Chain A
Amino acid sequence: GDGGGGQIRVTLVQGLAGEEFYETMACGARAKAKELGVTLDVQGPQKFDPTLQTPIVNSVVAGKPDAMLIAPTDVKAMIAPLTQAKRQDIKIILVDTVVEDQSIGLSRISTDNLKGGAAAAKALSEQIGGKGKALVISTDPGVSTVDARIKGFEEEIKASHPGITSLGVQYSHNDVGEASKIVNAALAKDPDLAGVFATNLNSATGAGSALQQAGKLGQVKMVGFDAGPAQVEQLKNGVVQALIAQLPGDIGAKGVEQAVAAVKGQQVTPSIPTEATIVTAGNVSRPEVQKVLYKAGC
């Protein structure tokens, strides 16, 4: 960086600013940065969108930090700006998501969303006794993380849960009201709906509200993704029956560790896979599960 001998400067570029997963990741990263005595900046686009993330990466690179943690919003579209960053001698650590080009990212710390989706399918199947109609509510097509979860979910259903009929995916554009409308119409069409897989918070919230209004809470089972405070609250209130928790805080902290190691010329770990945990009302109070719940601010 600019300062040569000064403090190490690291920037975290989130996939999406203002989202619990990435905010928890930032919390984890900040705590670790403080511990290691490095400066951490956080930036992120307002949508999970490579055309919005590219200018941010460019601005960050112009500021020449020593290292950049980034959750790339597309496996391909982010290659070009990251290559530019690499050429400026910025150490790049990939967190949560990756790019296709294996030469980018000294270390890759990521959740397997495909696996997460499969876990969601297992959890839902368990909740509904392995049979009935299941609906998936997602945000928008083309968001790679969410798409991967859907893929994992559908593959798992097809492969191992023959009793479950998938009603397919409906898209809520990440709008709570839209998600609610979708579930309402689904209930009108299929009053015997058995389960819903909501791929993110807003989808789960809207779906939960519709089920609640229809008096179908608990009767129609729901599995959600991510385990922020709002989701955990939903779990406790019986709106959702299971959550797939990733480890965003850990990812952030490990990312900073790896970044600092890279800047100091120490050894880095090229690949660190992180786990997805199934959280249910039954296990939510256990300490090892408490640990994976996302933090509300820091």
Chain B
Amino acid sequence: MAVPLIDARGIVKSYGQVEALRGADFSLRAGEVVALIGDNGAGKSTLAKILSGVERADGGTIEVDGEPVVFGAVEEARSAGIETVHQDLALCADLSPAGNFFLGRERLKPGLLGLFGVLDNAVMRRETQEACERLGVRLASQTAPVSGLSGGQRQGVAVARAVTWARRVVFMDEPTAALGVVQTRRVLDLIRTVRDSGVSVVLISHNMRDVMAVSDRVEVLRLGRRVARFATASVSMEELVGAMTGAIEQQESQG
């Protein structure tokens, strides 16, 4: 079997007194969609933050392509091809949708102006608009700051951004929580498209129907530990809920 793309073992993370992760494992292969599920407060977002370089683990090891890594900063995870849709979206409220979409990857004007760092706002606006429309998200104004967007519009921008830039893995922490019916369907389609293009997807979601619909495998977190892993094809919704709530305990089997 090929080396996993990401293999995290025994990840520990505490915030003051609260132990968010108590030795969590997680693995992901190239080109697969893995759903990461668990009850509220199970540690899913914390794990996603650690694996995308936003937070540092207190303990445990992370390997990417079999090589141990320590993500000291987001840039390092990003240059490893990892993008993330955070649950809290992490947008700059005062910037426009395009400003957020291209944040840290701004397009510059061609020629001399570009050398001075002058932004090509027209191009960035157009590309942002296209990416959002692909998700069915309509933006009333392209220049107004995102603080004026509706919840779903904001989430659309964040999802479109991550999907556009990811080269190897995209973490999606509740990417459809605020999206409308149509937009949600489009995101699920997009997840499949992305996977088909070779990028792995980690989907964090409380919507079991969505999980069943797009994932290849499911990993279940409970109280900061991985308590079960399933192939989606061979698991029922009841089993998933049981694993999350602790009604069903599965022995950890190394995959």
Q: Do chains A and B touch in the complex (CB under 8 A)?
A: no
